[in-house]
Amino acid sequence: MAAHCEEPRCAWVFHCKVAYNLFQHVSTRTGGIVSVKSEGSETGQRIISFVIPCYASEGSAALVIDEIRQVMAERPEFDYRVVAVNDCSPDGVLRVLRKVALEDERVTVVDLAKNVGRHGALMCGCHYADGDYIVFMDDDLQCPTERLWDLLEPIMATGSDGRNYDVSIARYSKKAQAGWKNLGSGVNDAVSTWLLGKDHDLKFSNFAAMKRFVRDEVVRYGNPYPYLSGLMVQATDRVCNVDMEERARTIGVGHYSFRKSFALWMNSFTAFSVKPLRIATICGFLFAFIGLVFGIFVVVRKLVVPTIALGYSSTMAAILFIGGMLMLMLGLIGEYIGRIYISINNSPQFVVRRVYAQVGEGVCAPDHVETPWHARDPMQVLDSGKGAQRTVAGQRTTVGQQAEDELRTQSEAAAATAAVDKGDRVHG
């Protein structure tokens, strides 16, 4: 009798262990993004993933990837992957990137269906970057790629101050850009210091590196207004700068207009803090108090000196000033409400048209994906003949499906055995 009772129990314990190991082996869940765990390359090397948003860079994108190859050759103990995101570029950069991907299996090209800006393209690339360290850089050759190892050193080892950092950002002593952009960068830095609570000395730039767990936290952000610098600062306090010089632009021109820069500034202004709303509330109380005092002053003055005529100019000036402040505050509140509406309306951060990566021979896109999928869906990276695939939402990995079917068969057999044993005990 004891033997009959112990067999189902042992089978149940065995199945629980198999299910747990399967879960640990097949996937990790990162905010709705299901991905195969990164265990380094087949040779045990640590992997560095480069994310490059590409827009109007037909003449420079391939050169940036060439520089990455040369720098990575200096440290053979590391392997690397490149995720190039075509942000709906109007030139032939997609053709150039596809050619690069055809020649190099380490390169994955993501073609977006709509232009979403640099930070949206970086968020898209983060969903495909599965290395131990993730590096962001531009496609215009201005990032000093030769300083890559200096950028990575603070997050790979303990620094001179005894701390091991999670995010490392290049700090340029002088940015090679227009004067109004430098002014805008200064204003944005001051606002970021106030709203995000970052250190005043910490500077943001387009050349940065972070650990894998920070990337996992960043991709959990699903709202349609990403601001990557703010997301990194929100994820960890261990952020440092590495001083270096930005290169001068030699190919192409900048594409960040005043309108785009202002839109990005609004993202940083409204996405991570309600302090602007609190300032509006304080201003409302302040102007209400000033209006009350001014009203009392006018009444008392009229009672004391009845012959004094009320000033039309001062009255209109007060009305226009207070009315303008009210409209500004209403506009700020409307901006928050509009962003909330768009967020709950499930507007995507980005929409992927196709993904180009080596599968077997040459480059192919996932033609079996019938409709574009959004940022909240799983990654689609096709591995070269390995059998392990990352699939679109609702599907399972090949390895996971086989193991799950085997587990179900074993469970059904154990249940049938338990039922037979129970029947034998009843009849006995």
Does residue 246 sit in the same domain as residue 100?
Answer: yes
**Cβ-contact 112, 88 below 8 angstroms:** yes
pLDDT score recorded for residue 362 = 43
CATH number at residue 182: 3.90.550.10
Does residue 119 sit in the same domain as residue 92?
Answer: yes
pLDDT score recorded for residue 384 = 34
Domain boundary among 269, 288, 314: 269
Q: What are phi and psi of 268, to 5 degrees?
A: -70, -30
Closest residue by Cα to residue 117 from 176, 192, 189, 54: 54
The whole-model pTM stands at 0.64
Cα–Cα distance for residue pair 110/94, rounded to 1 Å: 9
**Cβ-contact 414, 11 below 8 angstroms:** yes
pLDDT score recorded for residue 269 = 63
Does residue 312 sit in the same domain as residue 182?
Answer: no
Residue 110 included in any domain? yes
Beta bridge partners of 134: 49, 210
Tokens coding 144: 């000093």
Does residue 203 sit in the same domain as residue 74?
Answer: yes
Domain boundary among 302, 328, 344: 344
Does residue 161 sit in the same domain as residue 117?
Answer: yes
Does residue 250 sit in the same domain as residue 318?
Answer: no
Residue 74 included in any domain? yes
Does residue 176 sit in the same domain as residue 93?
Answer: yes
pLDDT score recorded for residue 426 = 43
Residue 215 included in any domain? yes
State the sign of the Cα–Cα–Cα–Cα dihedral 370, 374, 378, 381: positive
Residue 118 included in any domain? yes
Residue 385 included in any domain? no
Does residue 188 sit in the same domain as residue 110?
Answer: yes
Does residue 93 sit in the same domain as residue 186?
Answer: yes
Query: At CA 103, angle to CA 99 and CA 104, rounded to 5?
Result: 115
Number of domains comprising the chain: 3
Q: Is 238 helix (H, G, I), strand (E, B) or coil?
A: coil
pLDDT score recorded for residue 196 = 67
Does residue 142 sit in the same domain as residue 244?
Answer: yes
Residue 377 included in any domain? no
**Cβ-contact 176, 250 below 8 angstroms:** no
Tokens coding 121: 């393209």
Residue 20 included in any domain? yes
pLDDT score recorded for residue 259 = 64
- Positions of the chain with pLDDT under 70: 1-43, 158-162, 175-197, 252-274, 308-310, 312-314, 316-317, 320, 339, 341-343, 345, 359-428
Does residue 86 sit in the same domain as residue 205?
Answer: yes
Does residue 253 sit in the same domain as residue 290?
Answer: no
Domain boundary among 303, 329, 344: 344
Cα R_g (the chain), whole angstroms: 29
Residue 147 included in any domain? yes
Domain region containing 23: 2-27+397-427
pLDDT score recorded for residue 152 = 96
**Cβ-contact 110, 128 below 8 angstroms:** yes
